């Protein structure tokens, strides 16, 4: 086809718009339209204005608003607002690689207990409470947060960001860990006993991080908890770290940590307001 002496008639243009031409015919008409202003004007008269308007609107929306990442879409379906969903999607410890490695570690720890019996609870008790702690440690921090500059220059408070990401880490990790806990041999209360230290170590980490940062704080918490579990193997029963008396200690630690965190957050806000 050329633009000299030939133009596509209305039936041909209509068939092209309807998609009823074969591949060769459709490609020929399309190439002709690229070079022929008269046929482009003719096809514009055939296309209904509302249809054309919707088509261009779709193109504009696709270009200006690309599809949101899967993590953001899932969060939106759960009722999370888009700004919060975007902040969650940037969280390191909510990415597939981190979650997969955490669940693999939990799986191996659970398998070790199943093969060793109730007297060998140390692998699970060592790993399960530490997974949410390490997840929270990876969830924020000026050196690891890809949105650090955004958080620092917008009204979205860091304390709120830390809280949202902490809750997201707990929601993503604890259900799977709880299911694995059901497989543990021994008394029924053991399936939930690990939750005490798991939930207590998170506020302890947050409070400690307000002084020394998340990396150092997570290292201190990990060493301290490992010492509790490993040292208990020599002198007390395997269930000692999660028995009732110790649960009260974890509760007290959590309450003290929350108080420290609130005081530190209030102090930081006061300092920020004076600068």
Chain segment 122-164, per-residue pLDDT in tens: 889 889 889 888 887 776 655 555 555 555 555 555 566 677 7
Ramachandran bin of 213, using left for φ above 0, alpha for ψ from -120 to 50, beta for the remaining angles = left
Q: Does some domain include residue 3?
A: no
| Token pair of 97 as six digits | 């690689």
Domain match, 128 and 41 both? no
pTM of the model: 0.62
Q: Does some domain include residue 135?
A: yes
Q: What percent of the chain has pLDDT over 90?
A: 8
Q: Does some domain include residue 1?
A: no
User: What is the reported pLDDT for 140?
Assistant: 61
Domain match, 148 and 229 both? yes
Domain match, 101 and 58 both? no
Domain match, 37 and 160 both? no
Residues with Cβ within 8 Å of 69's Cβ and at least 6 positions away in sequence, in order, are 89
Domain match, 103 and 20 both? no
Q: Does some domain include residue 162?
A: yes
User: What is the reported pLDDT for 91?
Assistant: 66
Q: Does some domain include residue 142?
A: yes
User: What is the reported pLDDT for 2?
Assistant: 44
User: What is the reported pLDDT for 121?
Assistant: 84
Which domain, by its residues, includes 27? 10-64
Three-state DSSP class for 5?
coil
Domain match, 57 and 157 both? no
Domain match, 78 and 18 both? no
Domain match, 142 and 270 both? yes
Long-range Cβ pairs for the range 153-160 (8 Å, 24+)? 156/83, 156/87, 159/265
Helix-helix angle 130-139:214-235, to 10 degrees? 170
Rounded to whole angstroms, how far apart are CA atoms 71 and 85? 8
Q: Does some domain include residue 4?
A: no
Q: Does some domain include residue 170?
A: yes
Domain match, 254 and 169 both? yes
Residue 50 pLDDT > 80: no
Per the structure, how many domains does the chain have?
Answer: 2
Domain match, 132 and 15 both? no
Q: Does some domain include residue 2?
A: no
Rounded to whole angstroms, how far apart are CA atoms 142 and 121? 36
Domain match, 57 and 76 both? no
Locus of tokens 């202003």: 37
> Using one digit for the tens of pLDDT, what is the confidence trace for 211-259?
887 778 888 999 999 998 888 887 778 788 888 889 999 999 999 998 9
Pick 254 or 80 by higher pLDDT.
254
User: What is the reported pLDDT for 167?
Assistant: 80
| Token pair of 71 as six digits | 């993590």
Domain match, 93 and 153 both? yes
Give me the mean pLDDT over the 35-48 stretch: 82
Pick 97 or 37 by higher pLDDT.
37
């Amino acid at each position: 086809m050329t633009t000299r002496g030939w133009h596509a008639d209305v039936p041909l243009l209509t068939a092209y718009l309807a998609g009823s031409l074969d591949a060769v015919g459709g490609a020929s008409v399309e190439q002709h339209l690229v070079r022929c202003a008269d046929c482009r004007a003719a096809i514009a008269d055939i296309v209904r204005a509302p249809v054309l308007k919707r088509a261009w609107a779709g193109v504009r929306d696709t270009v200006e608003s690309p599809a949101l990442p899967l993590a953001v879409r899932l969060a939106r379906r759960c009722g999370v607002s888009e700004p919060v969903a975007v902040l969650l999607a940037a969280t390191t410890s909510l990415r597939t690689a981190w979650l997969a490695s955490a669940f693999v570690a939990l799986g191996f720890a659970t398998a070790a207990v199943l093969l060793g019996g109730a007297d060998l609870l140390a692998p699970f008790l060592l790993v399960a409470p530490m997974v949410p702690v390490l997840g929270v440690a990876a969830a924020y921090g000026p050196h690891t947060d890809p949105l650090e500059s955004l958080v620092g220059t917008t009204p979205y408070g860091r304390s709120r960001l830390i809280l949202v990401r902490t809750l997201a880490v707990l929601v993503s990790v604890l259900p799977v860990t709880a299911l694995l806990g059901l497989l543990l041999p021994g008394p029924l209360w053991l399936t939930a006993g690990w939750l005490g230290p798991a939930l207590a170590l998170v506020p302890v980490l947050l409070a400690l991080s307000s002084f020394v940062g998340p990396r150092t704080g997570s290292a201190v918490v990990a060493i301290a908890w490992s010492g509790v579990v490993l040292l208990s193997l020599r002198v007390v029963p395997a269930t000692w770290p999660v028995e009732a008396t110790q649960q009260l200690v974890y509760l007290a630690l959590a309450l003290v940590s929350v108080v420290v965190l609130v005081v530190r957050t209030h102090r930081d806000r006061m300092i920020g307001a004076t600068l």
